[in-house]
Amino acid sequence: MIVTLTPNPSLDRTVTVERLTLGEVHRVTSGRIDPGGKGINVSRALAAQGGDTLAVLPVGGAEGGLLTRLLDEAGVAHRDVAIGGTARMNVAVVEPGGRTTKVNEAGPQMTPAEVDALLAATLDAARGARWVVGCGSLPPGAPTSLYADLVASARSLGVRVAIDSSGAPLPAAVAAGPSLIKPNHEELAELVGHALPRLGDVVAAARELVAGGVELVVVSLGADGAVAVDADSVCWTAATIERPLSTVGAGDCLLAGVLHTLDTGGSLADALTTGVRWGAAAVTLPGSRIPTPRDLAGIEVAAPQAPDAGLLLR
Ligand SMILES: Nc1ncnc2c1ncn2[C@@H]1O[C@H](COP(=O)(O)OP(=O)(O)O)[C@@H](O)[C@H]1O
Ligand SMILES: O=P(O)(O)OC[C@H]1O[C@](O)(COP(=O)(O)O)[C@@H](O)[C@@H]1O
């Protein structure tokens, strides 16, 4: 069982326009709404592939009601923690060719009691689970240490913790020694404090984090695939997608694929291959639609290999 915690879930509204021009009125050619937030997307991706998962989230307001209804419709088991605020709505504007502009709300103000209840519900759900995954930004009112606290508390229950976040909560969580982190290229550069133009720079930065106490670092690199680094090995792979439709949620699908494979006893190379397959399949789908087994068919992933250190990343 993989438990996900999404402290700041969202309704993801995706609209497609011919061309985005600042200051202009745009006519939408297609639109959709999906339950969102990074942990929720991880649970959606796992559930879509028959995985055993439970999403823990704060729920408030009319938007929160719609969010849980959409999760029910998608067959995603969830544990709701009632809050006084209202779930946020994030907008993604997609242009033909896949360029995506995102506008994310900050999220509802949470009280200290609501934050405590959310963490307690997550730890309660995590008892007996193999993995607990903390993902995404934190809403106003949540302490920067929320994911670090999750790492420490889940570890004392014997549960492995994966973290996918950004900004100040990420270094705080890293200092607590999680089992896995999944930064993208930009997040990793911010974490180590310098630019990482080549694949070799990414591997060196990931090794630095492993030496500092993170068991496994999986770095997603968009069209350049993903690289996985632990104390014993490093591997890299990628998939070619001719016509990407929307990259929203691709990193979440990658993480779901990696965890699903590790959870079912697969090797690191298999986990990375599955993750890249799920992430690449996600970019072939509109909005933050999640790949089904049928969407994975036909996605060719290169055999994992030692990274080409000199490769200049896109
Ligand atoms: N243009 C693309 N072509 C092929 N695969 C892609 C593309 N964009 C993303 N992916 C796949 O999705 C994964 C996650 O994408 P990425 O953009 O790095 O993550 P995030 O959404 O966290 O920023 C990548 O590791 C890769 O497997
Ligand atoms: O919590 P954050 O960082 O604001 O991100 C939330 C957004 O991220 C998503 O999980 C998608 O992730 P990406 O945009 O990184 O692919 C959306 O569902 C959601 O709108």
Per-residue confidence (pLDDT) for residue 286, from 0 to 100: 84
Once rounded to an integer, what is the mean pLDDT over residues 78-92?
A: 97
* 98: pLDDT strictly greater than 90: no
**What confidence category does residue 245 fall into, taking pLDDT thresholds of 50, 70 and 90?**
confident
- Per-residue model confidence (pLDDT) at position 96: 85
Q: How far is the CA of 213 from the centre of ligand 2 (A)?
A: 26
Q: Ligand 1 centre from 38 Cα, in Å?
A: 14
pLDDT of 4 strictly over 90: yes
Q: How far apart are CA 110 and CA 96, in angstroms?
A: 37
- Reported as a single tens digit per residue, the pLDDT across 18-54 is 999 999 999 999 999 999 999 999 999 999 999 999 9
| ipTM attached to this prediction | 0.97
Nearest CA to ligand 1 atom 12: 279
- The pLDDT assigned to 197 comes to 98
Beta strands in the chain (DSSP E): 2-5, 10-16, 30-36, 53-59, 78-82, 88-94, 100-103, 131-135, 160-164, 180-181, 216-220, 226-230, 234-237
Phi, psi of 3 (to 5 degrees): -95, 130
Q: Provide the 3-class DSSP secondary structure of residue 208.
A: helix
261-301 pLDDT tens trace: 999 999 999 999 999 999 999 999 988 899 999 999 989 99
In angstroms, the CA 240 to CA 121 distance is 40
Residue 12, pLDDT score? 95
247 in ligand 1 pocket by Cβ < 6 Å?
yes
The closest ligand to the CA of 106 turns out to be 2
CB of 42 shorter than 6 A to ligand 1: no
Ligand number nearest to the C-alpha of 166: 2
Percent of the chain with pLDDT over 70: 100
Which pLDDT score, from 0 to 100, does residue 287 have? 82
Lowest mean pLDDT among 65-74, 219-228, 282-291: 282-291
How far away, in angstroms, is 137 Cα from ligand 2 center?
Answer: 8
Q: Is the pLDDT assigned to residue 235 strictly greater than 90?
A: yes
Residues 150-202: tens digit of each pLDDT: 999 999 999 999 999 999 999 999 999 999 999 999 999 999 999 999 999 99
What mean pLDDT value characterizes the chain? 96
**DSSP tag of 256:** H
User: 287 CB under 6 A from ligand 2?
Assistant: no
288 lines ligand 2 (CB under 6 A): yes
For a pLDDT cut of 90, what percent of the chain falls above it? 94
- Looking at the predicted structure, is the pLDDT value of residue 244 above 90? no
Q: What is the pLDDT of residue 246?
A: 84
Confidence class for position 97, pLDDT limits 50, 70, 90: confident
Please say if the pLDDT value at position 99 is more than 90: no
Q: What is the pLDDT of residue 108?
A: 98
Q: Are 122 and 131 a contacting pair, CB within 8 Å?
A: no
| Averaged pLDDT for residues 213-234 | 97
Q: Are 280 and 301 in contact (CB under 8 A)?
A: yes
